[in-house]
Amino acid sequence: LPASLPPASASPSRALLLSMVPSAVSESTLRRELEVFGDVRAVEMERRREGLVTVHFYDVRDAQAALMAIQEQHMQQQFRLGRHYEAVMSNSMGLATVPPPPPLPPHTAAGLISGRVVWAQFVTPVTFGLPDGNNQGTLVIFNLDPAISASHLKDIFEAFGPVKELRETPNKRNQKFVEFYDVRNAAKAMAEMNGREIAGKSLVIEFSRPGGQCKKFWKTHAAGHRSMCSSSRPPTSRKHISKKTGGSSSFKHGGGRPWKGGGGRQAKEHDPSFLINEDAITESNCCSDRRTTVMIKNIPNKYSQKLLLNMLDNHCIHCNEQLAGGDDQPLSSYDFVYLPIDFINKCNVGYGFVNMTSPQATLRLYKAFHHQNWEVFNSRKICEVTYARLQ
């Protein structure tokens, strides 16, 4: 059996799951076209025939740059096709010449795979079968002198490469976490600093294990995982792209997925596993159900993408205004929306997908819209909000 797909990551990671990849693409082609963003650590190809490939970068900044370029190409293609079909539909009398389909970008454009548009999302990196997989870029430093400041410790470790973050452990002043952008720099720091004496104390350093991951997934993945191809190339220089930020209505950012892989019609309508259980999600930060991708059903067919975005923006603004100023609850926001369009009939197909940025935001969306009437176009449809099949 093929290995299980890694779970989606809500934050940037070094691993990207690519979907809609041409089944005939070779590993060498993937590496060549993705290494324009930075060195590739490993590639998982065992689900290539399903159009799914997982790519691991050494540096999280390279993975971010690759994701942004790939999603940008995808969105530009959607825009080009939309303009084309609008032109086709406007030619209802057949008097004018129908314009040809829009040309694709150059075959070698960054963000394309074998000249094809694909989709990318961040996933939680695996450790099984990955070269030095226990190294995910974060070191745990034990036996520190509590008098050593965080800034001084960061200066020490930045001798091995740029440090992404230094975190302290509550109630453990002699322990800190140092996260590097590049896992190779973490390996160098580990080799050089483990056992080194600072302020009269000998440091003990270990690689930090990824936290918050589903044990069931890792057991399944360990049983079904096949070997991955690691890179033996030496480090090369790379160009970094600064992280873009945007409003809640952005289509380009975050670890979302295109609608084709999100669930939808394949989900059983009455399967209780897709129903949102309010008891499993509370307004506190502790909840047993961490899913955030929802399917919105029974959308009026005349409802446009712009209307859906306006609805979500207004909902998020209203929810965030209700949160108390000192409340530590996560704000309501979303990082991905997809409303499939039937270009022939020039309307949506009745459902869409939204990825909220937290379970609490998902619950607020559910409470606001589930089993509510759509107050547009004299529609008698009743909105339904359920979990998408895949998260």
Cα dihedral sign, 144-145-147-151: negative
- Please check whether residues 98 and 220 belong to one and the same domain: yes
pTM of the model: 0.54
* Beta carbons within 8 Å of 353's beta carbon, 6+ residues apart: 259, 262, 263, 264, 293, 294, 295, 296, 336, 337, 338, 388
Containing 367, the helix (H) or strand (E) segment is helix 359-369
Angle between helices 150-157 and 183-193 (to 10 degrees): 100
Is 220 exposed, middle or buried, given 0-12, 13-18 or 19+ CB atoms closer than 10 A? middle
Residue 200 DSSP SS3: coil
- Please check whether residues 378 and 268 belong to one and the same domain: yes
**Residue 128 has what pLDDT?**
65
CA 82 vs CA 88, 259, 340, 346: distances in Å: 10, 16, 11, 10
- Please check whether residues 278 and 338 belong to one and the same domain: yes
Is 245 exposed, middle or buried, given 0-12, 13-18 or 19+ CB atoms closer than 10 A? exposed
- Please check whether residues 144 and 118 belong to one and the same domain: no
Pairing state between β 53-57 and 40-44: antiparallel
- Please check whether residues 177 and 270 belong to one and the same domain: no
Angle between helices 305-322 and 359-369 (to 10 degrees): 110
Helix, strand, coil tally for the chain in percent (to 5)? 30, 20, 50
- Please check whether residues 375 and 353 belong to one and the same domain: yes
Residue 247 lies in a domain: no
Residue 110 lies in a domain: yes
**Residue 9 has what pLDDT?**
79
Q: Residue 115 sits in which domain range?
A: 15-125+214-225
- Please check whether residues 62 and 174 belong to one and the same domain: no
Residue 234 lies in a domain: no
- Please check whether residues 97 and 220 belong to one and the same domain: yes
Contact 72, 241 (CB under 8 A): no
- Please check whether residues 220 and 80 belong to one and the same domain: yes
Other beta carbons within 10 Å of 111: 23
Residue-by-residue pLDDT tens, the chain, 391 positions: 455 677 777 789 999 999 989 989 999 999 999 999 999 999 999 888 888 999 999 999 999 999 999 998 888 877 777 776 666 666 655 555 656 666 666 767 888 998 888 989 998 887 666 778 889 999 999 999 989 998 999 999 999 999 999 988 767 788 899 999 999 999 999 999 999 999 899 999 999 865 434 333 333 343 333 333 333 333 333 333 223 333 333 333 333 333 333 344 444 445 666 788 766 555 444 556 778 889 999 999 999 888 898 889 888 888 887 775 556 778 888 878 888 888 788 889 999 999 888 888 999 999 999 998 887 788 889 999 999 886 6
Residue 237 lies in a domain: no
Residue 239 lies in a domain: no
Provide the token pair at 291: 């899913």
Phi-psi region of 238 (alpha: psi -120 to 50; beta: other; left: phi over 0): beta
Distance (Å, whole) CA 274 – CA 294: 9
- Choose among 144, 189, 182, 141: nearest CA to 164: 182
- Please check whether residues 221 and 95 belong to one and the same domain: yes
DSSP secondary structure letter of residue 166: E
- Please check whether residues 154 and 95 belong to one and the same domain: no
Contact 248, 358 (CB under 8 A): no
Residue 252 lies in a domain: no
Residue 6 lies in a domain: no
**Residue 384 has what pLDDT?**
93
Structurally, the chain folds into a number of domains equal to 3
Q: What is the CATH number of the domain that holds 71?
A: 3.30.70.330
Contact 107, 115 (CB under 8 A): yes
Residue 1 lies in a domain: no
- Please check whether residues 306 and 285 belong to one and the same domain: yes
Distance (Å, whole) CA 34 – CA 70: 10
CA 20 vs CA 10, 77, 354: distances in Å: 21, 14, 20
In the structure, how many helices (H) and strands (E) does the chain have?
7, 17
Provide the token pair at 134: 């226990």
Pairing state between β 201-202 and 204-207: unpaired
